[in-house]
Amino acid sequence: MKLTKIFAAVALVVAAGAASAETAIFDFSIMKWNGTLNTGGTMPIDGFSCTGHDQCSSNVDGGVFNGDLTFQEGSIEVKATGWYDKPSDGKGYLEAAVVQDHIVNGEFGAGLGVYHKLDNSDDNITDKEYLKMSFTEMVTLNSVNLRSEGHSTSWGESNPVFQFSQDGVNWTNKNLQGTLAINLTGQNFYFKYGDGDRLRSTHKDQFYLGGMTVSRQDNTPVPPTGSPIPEPETYAMMLAGLGLMGAIARRRKAKAV
């Protein structure tokens, strides 16, 4: 009876080590400045403090517009980079800076945007800009959360759109809305200002990437942040213990006979 309980306990330990959430939620929209530091949601593990307590991929206050912001939820890691199309120089898209906009008490959240010039009104994704999210492994992008220029989930124009791509070449128009199902598998995902010439003077289709829900492409569980993963040596010790208990049980049975 005791041996059965031991087997059951070991099985529970192994199952607990293997079981965890299958999705990871990145929330870029609720980073809040509390007067001393930023807290809340998914914050970058690198970058620069900029433009009054935002987080940027480079020293935009010093006129530098490049780099990336790295985010991690569980074991899933993604790098955000910004790009800007400057047709006048004939070079096509140039690297820009990524900004994570902070909020203060009483405000709605925003999220990730792009800076290609030192202008606080340019901290979302606007005309000629796009945001690239590059994962370190294949994932399924289940859904995204988008925010408007006013940090809300409503836009001032009818049928507002943005452009979405998985290769940065072939773009698809999608509706701007709070939460949008994507359900596509890949490693790179692109989000681009999408109104073309339609609203260039008003920029009411500007938006932030407020968040994402992703899962592993092979459905391997994603361990929650801070949850330890049993080492291979731990499993080896468990199996060795099981083998020893089995041998003891066989010897006891043989003696009884």
Predicted local distance difference test score (pLDDT) of residue 156: 72
pLDDT tens, residue by residue, 54-63: 999 999 999 9
Q: Which residue is listed with tokens 């059951």?
A: 8
38/191: higher pLDDT: 191
**How far apart, in Å, do the first and last CA atoms of the chain sit?**
18
pLDDT surpassing 90 at residue 194: no
Name which of 48-52, 116-120, 139-143, 148-152 the model is least confident about: 116-120
pTM: 0.74
3-state secondary structure of 14: helix
Q: Mean pLDDT over all residues of the chain? A: 79
- Taken as a whole, the chain contains a residue count of 257
Evaluate whether 129 touches 114 at the Cβ level (below 8 Å).
yes
Query: What percent of the chain has pLDDT above 70?
Result: 67
